[in-house]
Chain A
Amino acid sequence: MVKLKATYSMKKYVIILVVFLAMCAMAGPAAVHAQDDNSSSAEVDGQAVALKGTIVEVGGMMVQVRHGADQPWLAAKKGMELTQGAEFRTGPRCYVKFVIEPNQLVVLDRLGTIKILEAVRYADMNKVKTDLGMKYGRTRYDVEAAGTEHESTIYSPNATLAVRGTDAQIEDEGGRPVRITSYHGEILATLSGFKAVAMGKKIKTSIDQSRPVPADHALGETSLNAHTAFAGDTQAEQELVEQMPNMGGYDPVMLDALADALDVTIDDTFGGTVAPENSLFVLASWEGGTPMVTDVDLNLHEPEGFNLTAYSPVSPNGGIHNGNVISGMTGSGIESALYALDFPEGSYNIRLDLTTTTSQAVGFFQVVINNIPVYTSLPIVLNMFAPSHSENVDIYKPQQNVVANQSTGFQMMVDVLPTQE
């Protein structure tokens, strides 16, 4: 009897447990549905609350919105409420403005699409996070960060615009470089293929894929180029104009001088005037002579037989000797010969003569073709026992090869010069 009573009591507990579990199972889905129905402002996960959006202005007849990828497109109307996943598209001469609470204004301009990927508020951190995806088009985003931290990002196929309380715009359309502009406030802009750039604050700044640094972009937009678009300036030439505004443009001779002075190469520049293609410069220099006395002469015996000296200073082949020079106050001096436009090829006999045998000097000579030294002699000691020194040097015109610059694709001629052995 006692045993029977115990069994009955257990049965009662089991029934109560089963009923309780069934009630729980029924109550569960109802709670989930309630959450779905109220998703615009409901808790998404632990602390994140989804934000509501509202269309505040529609410009033009061709603006559509859909509330999910599987939903139909509807004509956008002022006052329509938006949730995460809402997507817009606009036609020509149309735009749409919508607000995501609390104070984020987004404007999608003509012929673009944008989607609200995520819009949530973290109540405990007083932070709002908004992610928008723009396939193409132009979108402006404006938010006043008053008391709330904003972490807003617009993604496009070629760029990412991260905003923390500012007014900024991203433009990603076919046939032109992506452009990001900050009207005021600081943004973090990332162009595809470049590092992220923090830009903006109090003034308007822009970057695009061709000028990924704000300062470069501003310089490009404010520099004046006296050449018109039809002048056919290369990109490098245009950049030179921007970077040397005080020189009023550029000139091939000036570029040459700069390249020499700074020991740099300026690629992809083509002059408006003809630059010498085959110039030969022979320089003779000495030092250690008696000031104002020691005289060293440079003599150049051409392959064709003419002897170019200070006393026969003009060659029929275009060479010019700079004339006789004696040592200056420091005991040093320079004589030179220049073939500016062309020179005969072959074996040159280059001779240094010490004409004042009462003194001595140490000199050398150098052969320069197209501004590039191709031969330099060893130090030459000239004195009364060895007043002359001569060497035969084979001098030929450079071979020019057409090569393409890897970065720009421009083709240019490059001198291939014989090297000193």
Chain B
Amino acid sequence: MHLKQSAKTGLILAAMTLCLGACNNAQVALPLTEQLAGNSPEMQLDFWHTLATRPVTSNDEAFHGLILYVNGQDNSTDYAGRVEWMNSQNMLPQDFDRPSNESVHHGTLAVAITRLLDIKGGLIMRLFGPTPRYATRELRYMKIMPRVSPHQTLSGMEFVGLIARIEDYQRITHVVDSDSLRDQENSTDTPAQEENKSTDESMGRIPQAAQTTN
């Protein structure tokens, strides 16, 4: 009888342990920031294009990428420095305390992106600020993010694609609450009008932030 009970308890504990393991976030064993955190153009290119081949993006890599994109350089020497910089720009959720090598969540990035792009959002976002849930919903609505949940992580390729999407958004004069966005809700890509502008401009002229090297 005792043996039976012990076996049952053991099984339950084993199942719980398995469940706990399954609920863990993916970890990145060797974040790129350890080797490719430099600010030179060559190092930055190596970072972006190596990241695109990685199956998971860590918090550290994502923050480094965002800082590079925003500032053109990342002077932080470690993850704590990056988190501090992001916090100073109000680009992180209030209670953010995730480790550096843990896979980054869409919700975390969504908060940073809404701050970066100065997206005000709807009533809830205006009242309570950009929480991961509502920031993600807003970016989905604006077609910057795909149909994902705030807790979903993303691959390196998806992160690079997201940065490209942010750049597309920044290249154009974008009225956030415009009807044209709603009209294009069925489309899975940028609204046609904006997409035209974006691609045409990108092909035809140099973006403001870029300089021509001859």
Chain B associates with chain A: yes
Chain-B contact segment, one of A87-95, A275-283, A310-318: A87-95
Tell me the minimal C-beta distance from B73 to chain A in angstroms. 11
With both beta carbons as reference points, the residue of chain A lying nearest to B184 in the complex is identified as A221
**Set of chain A residues within 8 Å of B213, measured between Cβ atoms:** 58, 60-61, 63, 75-78
- A73 on the B face (CB < 8 A): yes
Q: Which of B41, B157, B187, B188 has the most CB of A within 10 A?
A: B187
Cα(A139)–Cα(B63), bound, Å: 27
- Contacts of B182 on A, CB cut-off 8 Å? 225, 228-229
Which of A59, A169, A229 meets B199, CB within 8 Å? A169
Q: Among the listed B140, B187, B207, which residue makes an inter-chain contact with A60, where contact means beta carbons less than 8 Å apart? A: B207
Chain B residues, CB < 8 A from A173: 157, 160-161, 164-165
Expressed in whole angstroms, the minimum distance between the Cβ of A287 and any Cβ of chain B is 48
What does the 1/0 interface line of B186-214 toward A look like (CB < 8 Å)?
Answer: 11110110001001001100110111111
Is A223 part of the binding interface, using a Cβ–Cβ cutoff of 8 Å? yes
Query: Closest Cβ of chain A: how far from B61's Cβ, in Å?
Result: 14
Count CB-based A-B contacts (< 8 Å).
156
Contact A110 B185, CB 8 Å, known A58-B213, A91-B44: no
Q: Which residues on B sit within 8 Å (CB–CB) of A73?
A: 42, 45
Interface-centre pick from B154, B185, B214 (highest chain A CB count, 10 A): B185
A259 within 8 A of B: no
CB pair B203–A242 under 8 Å, yes or no, is no
Q: How far is the CB of B136 from chain A (nearest CB, A)?
A: 13
Q: Output the nearest chain A residue to B49 by Cβ-Cβ distance.
A: A89
The answer to whether A174 and B157 have CB atoms under 8 Å apart is: yes
A176 interface contact, C-beta 8 A: yes
- Which chain B residue lies CB-closest to A95? B202
B86 contacts which chain A residues (CB < 8 A)? Answer: none
Question: Which residues of chain A have C-beta atoms less than 8 A from B188's C-beta?
Answer: 176-177, 208-211
Q: What is the bound-complex CA distance between A332 and B165, given in angstroms?
A: 67
| B116 within 8 Å of A (CB atoms) | no
Show the binding face of A for B, using Cβ within 8 Å.
Answer: 57-64, 73, 75-78, 89, 91-95, 107, 109-111, 113, 135-138, 140, 169, 173-177, 179, 181, 204, 208-211, 217, 220-225, 228-230, 238-239, 241-242
Further contacts, 20 of them, CB under 8 A, given A225-B182, A238-B185, A238-B186: A59-B207, A60-B207, A62-B44, A73-B42, A107-B202, A109-B199, A109-B203, A110-B167, A110-B202, A111-B161, A136-B161, A169-B203, A174-B52, A174-B156, A174-B162, A175-B154, A175-B157, A175-B165, A211-B187, A220-B186
27 A-B pairs, CB-CB below 8 angstroms? Answer: A58-B212, A60-B206, A60-B212, A61-B41, A62-B44, A95-B202, A95-B203, A95-B206, A95-B207, A109-B203, A110-B202, A136-B157, A138-B164, A173-B164, A174-B52, A174-B156, A174-B158, A175-B154, A176-B165, A177-B188, A181-B199, A208-B189, A209-B188, A217-B187, A222-B192, A223-B186, A228-B182
Interface positions of B (Cβ within 8 A of A):
41-42, 44-45, 48-49, 52, 68-69, 122, 137, 140-141, 145-146, 154-165, 167, 182-189, 191-192, 196, 199, 202-203, 206-207, 209-214
